[in-house]
Amino acid sequence: MPIQPHGSKPPILWLDGGSTFLPLSERLGTDQPFYGIHVDAILEKAGGCPKKLEDAARLVVATLRKERPNGPYFIGGWCTSGILAYAVAEEFRRQGCDVPLLMLVHAFHPVKSREIGEIRAFLSKFRFHIAQTMLQPKGTRIRYFFERLRGLSDAANLRGGREAVLQPKLRTQLDKAALRYTPPRYPGPAVLFEPADHPDVLDFAEYWHASCVGEFTSYIAPGGHRTMLEPPCIDTFAAMLKPHLDKAMATAPLRAIG
Protein backbone atom coordinates (compact mmCIF):
# COMPACT_ATOMS: atom_id res chain seq x y z
CA MET A 1 0.00 0.00 0.00
CA PRO A 2 1.87 3.11 -1.23
CA ILE A 3 1.41 5.65 1.56
CA GLN A 4 4.22 7.71 0.01
CA PRO A 5 5.81 5.88 -2.95
CA HIS A 6 8.31 8.51 -4.09
CA GLY A 7 11.94 9.08 -3.18
CA SER A 8 15.44 7.68 -3.57
CA LYS A 9 15.92 6.23 -0.07
CA PRO A 10 15.24 2.62 0.90
CA PRO A 11 11.52 2.35 1.75
CA ILE A 12 10.01 2.09 5.18
CA LEU A 13 7.86 -1.06 5.31
CA TRP A 14 5.14 -0.61 7.93
CA LEU A 15 3.07 -3.64 8.86
CA ASP A 16 -0.62 -2.78 8.59
CA GLY A 17 0.32 0.77 7.67
CA GLY A 18 -2.59 2.70 6.19
CA SER A 19 -3.97 6.22 6.24
CA THR A 20 -3.15 6.47 9.95
CA PHE A 21 0.51 6.84 8.94
CA LEU A 22 0.03 9.48 6.26
CA PRO A 23 0.89 12.33 8.71
CA LEU A 24 4.13 10.55 9.64
CA SER A 25 5.10 9.93 6.02
CA GLU A 26 4.47 13.59 5.20
CA ARG A 27 6.81 14.72 7.96
CA LEU A 28 9.57 12.34 6.88
CA GLY A 29 9.75 14.10 3.53
CA THR A 30 9.17 13.47 -0.16
CA ASP A 31 12.46 11.57 -0.56
CA GLN A 32 11.45 8.88 1.94
CA PRO A 33 9.24 6.12 0.45
CA PHE A 34 6.75 4.70 2.93
CA TYR A 35 4.75 1.55 2.22
CA GLY A 36 2.08 -0.17 4.27
CA ILE A 37 2.17 -3.97 4.26
CA HIS A 38 -1.27 -5.60 4.07
CA VAL A 39 -0.76 -8.34 6.65
CA ASP A 40 -4.39 -9.52 6.42
CA ALA A 41 -3.95 -10.30 2.72
CA ILE A 42 -0.79 -12.32 3.41
CA LEU A 43 -2.45 -14.34 6.18
CA GLU A 44 -5.67 -14.83 4.24
CA LYS A 45 -3.76 -16.18 1.25
CA ALA A 46 -2.06 -18.67 3.60
CA GLY A 47 -5.42 -19.87 4.90
CA GLY A 48 -5.32 -17.99 8.21
CA CYS A 49 -2.88 -16.90 10.86
CA PRO A 50 -0.59 -19.64 12.20
CA LYS A 51 -0.73 -20.35 15.92
CA LYS A 52 2.92 -19.36 16.30
CA LEU A 53 3.89 -15.75 15.58
CA GLU A 54 7.22 -16.94 14.20
CA ASP A 55 5.35 -18.79 11.44
CA ALA A 56 3.29 -15.70 10.63
CA ALA A 57 6.53 -13.72 10.43
CA ARG A 58 7.95 -16.23 7.93
CA LEU A 59 4.91 -15.69 5.69
CA VAL A 60 5.42 -11.93 5.78
CA VAL A 61 9.16 -12.22 5.11
CA ALA A 62 8.60 -14.58 2.18
CA THR A 63 6.14 -12.11 0.63
CA LEU A 64 8.41 -9.11 1.12
CA ARG A 65 11.43 -10.92 -0.29
CA LYS A 66 9.49 -11.72 -3.47
CA GLU A 67 8.87 -7.99 -3.98
CA ARG A 68 12.22 -6.77 -2.65
CA PRO A 69 14.73 -9.65 -2.58
CA ASN A 70 17.83 -7.83 -1.38
CA GLY A 71 16.77 -5.30 1.23
CA PRO A 72 17.70 -3.41 3.28
CA TYR A 73 14.50 -3.72 5.29
CA PHE A 74 13.31 -0.86 7.52
CA ILE A 75 10.49 -2.50 9.48
CA GLY A 76 7.86 -0.81 11.63
CA GLY A 77 4.67 -1.77 13.45
CA TRP A 78 2.08 -0.26 15.76
CA CYS A 79 0.27 -2.11 18.55
CA THR A 80 -0.01 -5.87 17.85
CA SER A 81 1.59 -5.32 14.46
CA GLY A 82 4.63 -4.05 16.35
CA ILE A 83 5.04 -7.49 17.92
CA LEU A 84 4.79 -9.02 14.47
CA ALA A 85 7.34 -6.47 13.20
CA TYR A 86 9.76 -7.67 15.88
CA ALA A 87 9.29 -11.28 14.77
CA VAL A 88 9.63 -10.25 11.10
CA ALA A 89 12.86 -8.36 11.79
CA GLU A 90 14.23 -11.35 13.68
CA GLU A 91 13.34 -13.66 10.78
CA PHE A 92 14.99 -11.32 8.27
CA ARG A 93 18.17 -11.35 10.33
CA ARG A 94 18.00 -15.14 10.69
CA GLN A 95 17.95 -15.36 6.89
CA GLY A 96 21.00 -13.10 6.65
CA CYS A 97 19.10 -9.99 5.50
CA ASP A 98 19.93 -6.44 6.55
CA VAL A 99 17.53 -4.72 8.96
CA PRO A 100 19.05 -1.29 9.67
CA LEU A 101 16.19 -0.22 11.96
CA LEU A 102 13.23 -1.81 13.75
CA MET A 103 10.52 0.67 14.80
CA LEU A 104 8.00 -0.28 17.51
CA VAL A 105 5.07 1.99 18.37
CA HIS A 106 3.09 1.30 21.56
CA ALA A 107 3.71 -2.41 21.15
CA PHE A 108 2.88 -4.51 24.19
CA HIS A 109 5.56 -6.93 25.34
CA PRO A 110 3.95 -10.39 25.40
CA VAL A 111 5.84 -11.63 28.45
CA LYS A 112 4.79 -8.67 30.58
CA SER A 113 1.25 -8.85 29.20
CA ARG A 114 0.97 -12.43 30.39
CA GLU A 115 2.27 -11.37 33.80
CA ILE A 116 -0.22 -8.49 34.03
CA GLY A 117 -3.29 -10.60 33.26
CA GLU A 118 -6.65 -9.38 32.03
CA ILE A 119 -8.10 -8.27 35.41
CA ARG A 120 -5.13 -6.09 36.35
CA ALA A 121 -5.06 -4.59 32.86
CA PHE A 122 -8.80 -3.83 33.06
CA LEU A 123 -8.48 -2.09 36.44
CA SER A 124 -5.49 -0.07 35.27
CA LYS A 125 -7.38 1.14 32.20
CA PHE A 126 -10.42 1.92 34.33
CA ARG A 127 -8.34 4.12 36.68
CA PHE A 128 -6.69 5.78 33.70
CA HIS A 129 -9.99 6.67 32.04
CA ILE A 130 -11.43 8.00 35.30
CA ALA A 131 -8.44 10.35 35.63
CA GLN A 132 -8.66 11.39 31.97
CA THR A 133 -12.41 12.02 32.33
CA MET A 134 -11.83 14.50 35.13
CA LEU A 135 -9.49 16.48 32.87
CA GLN A 136 -12.22 17.00 30.26
CA PRO A 137 -14.30 20.20 30.16
CA LYS A 138 -17.49 20.12 32.20
CA GLY A 139 -20.44 19.03 30.14
CA THR A 140 -18.37 16.52 28.13
CA ARG A 141 -17.11 14.26 30.90
CA ILE A 142 -19.95 11.73 31.00
CA ARG A 143 -19.95 11.23 27.24
CA TYR A 144 -16.14 10.94 27.21
CA PHE A 145 -16.13 8.37 30.01
CA PHE A 146 -18.79 6.10 28.50
CA GLU A 147 -17.10 6.20 25.10
CA ARG A 148 -13.88 5.00 26.75
CA LEU A 149 -15.70 2.53 29.00
CA ARG A 150 -17.04 0.65 25.99
CA GLY A 151 -13.48 -0.12 24.98
CA LEU A 152 -12.59 -1.70 28.31
CA SER A 153 -14.33 -4.95 27.43
CA ASP A 154 -12.48 -5.19 24.11
CA ALA A 155 -10.51 -8.40 23.71
CA ALA A 156 -7.48 -6.24 22.95
CA ASN A 157 -7.30 -4.60 26.36
CA LEU A 158 -3.76 -5.90 26.91
CA ARG A 159 -2.71 -4.37 23.62
CA GLY A 160 -3.59 -0.77 24.36
CA GLY A 161 -6.92 -0.68 22.50
CA ARG A 162 -6.47 -2.02 18.98
CA GLU A 163 -8.30 -0.17 16.21
CA ALA A 164 -11.16 -1.80 14.31
CA VAL A 165 -10.01 -3.94 11.40
CA LEU A 166 -11.59 -5.45 8.29
CA GLN A 167 -10.63 -9.05 9.10
CA PRO A 168 -11.63 -9.60 12.76
CA LYS A 169 -11.13 -13.38 12.64
CA LEU A 170 -7.58 -13.03 11.32
CA ARG A 171 -6.88 -10.30 13.85
CA THR A 172 -8.12 -12.40 16.73
CA GLN A 173 -5.80 -15.19 15.59
CA LEU A 174 -2.89 -12.76 15.26
CA ASP A 175 -3.55 -11.22 18.68
CA LYS A 176 -3.54 -14.67 20.28
CA ALA A 177 -0.34 -15.64 18.50
CA ALA A 178 1.28 -12.39 19.61
CA LEU A 179 0.24 -12.90 23.23
CA ARG A 180 1.78 -16.40 23.24
CA TYR A 181 5.02 -15.15 21.67
CA THR A 182 8.23 -14.93 23.70
CA PRO A 183 10.54 -12.46 21.94
CA PRO A 184 14.08 -13.79 21.48
CA ARG A 185 17.06 -11.53 22.08
CA TYR A 186 17.27 -9.13 19.15
CA PRO A 187 20.76 -7.77 18.34
CA GLY A 188 19.85 -5.14 15.76
CA PRO A 189 19.10 -1.40 16.14
CA ALA A 190 15.60 -0.75 17.48
CA VAL A 191 13.57 2.23 18.66
CA LEU A 192 10.41 2.14 20.78
CA PHE A 193 7.74 4.83 21.15
CA GLU A 194 5.19 4.79 23.96
CA PRO A 195 2.46 7.43 24.42
CA ALA A 196 2.55 9.78 27.37
CA ASP A 197 -1.13 9.07 28.02
CA HIS A 198 -1.53 5.40 28.87
CA PRO A 199 -2.60 3.20 31.82
CA ASP A 200 0.06 2.74 34.45
CA VAL A 201 0.69 -0.99 33.97
CA LEU A 202 0.90 -0.75 30.18
CA ASP A 203 4.48 0.46 30.14
CA PHE A 204 6.68 -2.02 28.30
CA ALA A 205 9.96 -0.15 27.76
CA GLU A 206 11.90 -2.07 30.41
CA TYR A 207 10.91 -5.43 28.96
CA TRP A 208 11.69 -4.38 25.38
CA HIS A 209 15.05 -3.08 26.52
CA ALA A 210 15.83 -6.49 27.97
CA SER A 211 14.86 -8.18 24.69
CA CYS A 212 16.65 -5.71 22.41
CA VAL A 213 20.31 -6.34 23.19
CA GLY A 214 21.62 -4.22 20.32
CA GLU A 215 21.38 -0.44 20.04
CA PHE A 216 18.03 0.39 21.67
CA THR A 217 16.31 3.71 22.40
CA SER A 218 12.87 4.32 23.89
CA TYR A 219 10.82 7.51 23.85
CA ILE A 220 7.71 8.84 25.53
CA ALA A 221 5.77 10.65 22.80
CA PRO A 222 3.01 13.17 23.51
CA GLY A 223 -0.54 11.95 23.09
CA GLY A 224 -2.32 8.66 23.48
CA HIS A 225 -2.43 5.34 21.66
CA ARG A 226 -3.81 6.91 18.48
CA THR A 227 -3.32 10.66 18.96
CA MET A 228 0.46 10.24 19.16
CA LEU A 229 0.23 9.59 15.40
CA GLU A 230 -2.01 12.58 14.70
CA PRO A 231 -1.37 16.35 14.56
CA PRO A 232 -0.08 18.08 16.56
CA CYS A 233 1.59 15.17 18.45
CA ILE A 234 2.99 13.64 15.27
CA ASP A 235 5.38 16.58 14.88
CA THR A 236 7.25 15.55 18.02
CA PHE A 237 7.01 11.86 17.14
CA ALA A 238 8.56 12.43 13.71
CA ALA A 239 11.28 14.65 15.16
CA MET A 240 12.24 11.84 17.56
CA LEU A 241 12.24 9.18 14.84
CA LYS A 242 14.05 11.07 12.09
CA PRO A 243 17.61 11.02 13.59
CA HIS A 244 17.39 7.24 13.94
CA LEU A 245 16.23 6.88 10.36
CA ASP A 246 18.93 9.24 9.09
CA LYS A 247 21.64 7.28 10.89
CA ALA A 248 20.30 3.93 9.70
CA MET A 249 19.87 5.19 6.12
CA ALA A 250 23.43 6.46 6.06
CA THR A 251 24.89 3.09 7.04
CA ALA A 252 22.43 0.78 5.23
CA PRO A 253 24.27 0.70 1.86
CA LEU A 254 27.54 -0.20 3.58
CA ARG A 255 25.88 -3.02 5.47
CA ALA A 256 24.13 -4.27 2.34
CA ILE A 257 27.45 -4.44 0.44
CA GLY A 258 29.17 -6.13 3.34
**Mean pLDDT within 33-43:** 94
φ and ψ at residue 107, rounded to 5 degrees:
-95, 125
φ and ψ at residue 215, rounded to 5 degrees:
-70, 115
Q: Cα separation of 147 and 79, whole Å?
A: 20
| Model pTM above 0.85 | no
Residue 165 binned pLDDT confidence (cut-offs 50, 70, 90): very low
Residue 26 binned pLDDT confidence (cut-offs 50, 70, 90): very high
User: How many angstroms separate the Cα of 188 from the Cα of each of 99, 145, 184, 210, 216?
Assistant: 7, 41, 12, 13, 8
Domains of the chain, first to last: 2-114+159-257 (3.40.50.1820)
**Percent of the chain clearing pLDDT 70 (strictly above):** 78
Nearest Cα to 79, choosing from 152, 9, 175, 168? Answer: 175
One-character DSSP codes across 66-84: HHSTT---EEEEETHHHHH
Residue 234 binned pLDDT confidence (cut-offs 50, 70, 90): very high
Q: Cα separation of 63 and 186, whole Å?
A: 22
Residue 124 binned pLDDT confidence (cut-offs 50, 70, 90): low
Say if residue 257's pLDDT is above 50: no
